[in-house]
Amino acid sequence: MIDSFLKYLKYEKRYSKHTIASYHNDLIAFSVFLSEFDPDLHIEHVDHNMVRAWIVTLIDSEISPRSVNRKLSSLRSFYKFLITREIISKNPLQKIKVLKTNKPLPGFVNENEMVKMLEEADFGHDFEGWRDRLVLELFYGTGIRLSELLQLKPGDVNFYENQIKVTGKRNKQRIIPFTKNLRSIIENYNRKKTETFGHNENTQLIVTNKGEPCYPMIIYRIVRKYLDLYTTLDRRSPHILRHTFATHLLNKGADLNAIKDLLGHASLAATQVYTHNSLEKLKQVFDKAHPKA
Catalytic site residue from 145, 192, 193, 248: 145
Kindly state the DSSP code that residue 85 receives in the 8-state scheme. T
Catalytic site residue from 169, 174, 183, 224: 169
DSSP string, 186-245: HHHHHHHHHHHH---TTS-SSB-TTSSBP-HHHHHHHHHHHHHHH---S--SHHHHHHHH
The CA-based angle 118-121-127, given to 5 degrees, is 90
Catalytic annotation present for 145: yes
Catalytic annotation present for 169: yes
C-alpha–C-alpha distance, residues 158 and 53, integer Å: 54
Q: Where are the alpha helices (DSSP H) in the chain?
A: 2-11, 17-37, 48-60, 65-84, 111-120, 127-142, 146-151, 180-197, 216-230, 238-251, 256-263, 268-271, 274-289
Catalytic annotation present for 265: yes
Total length of the chain: 293
Catalytic site residue from 48, 116, 153, 265: 265
C-alpha–C-alpha distance, residues 73 and 11, integer Å: 20
Q: State the Cα torsion 134-136-138-143 to the nearest 10°.
A: 180
Closest CA to 228 of 215, 237, 216: 237
Helix 216-230, helix 111-120: angle, nearest 10 = 110
Catalytic site residue from 242, 243, 248, 260: 242
Residues serving a catalytic function are: 145, 169, 239, 242, 265, 274
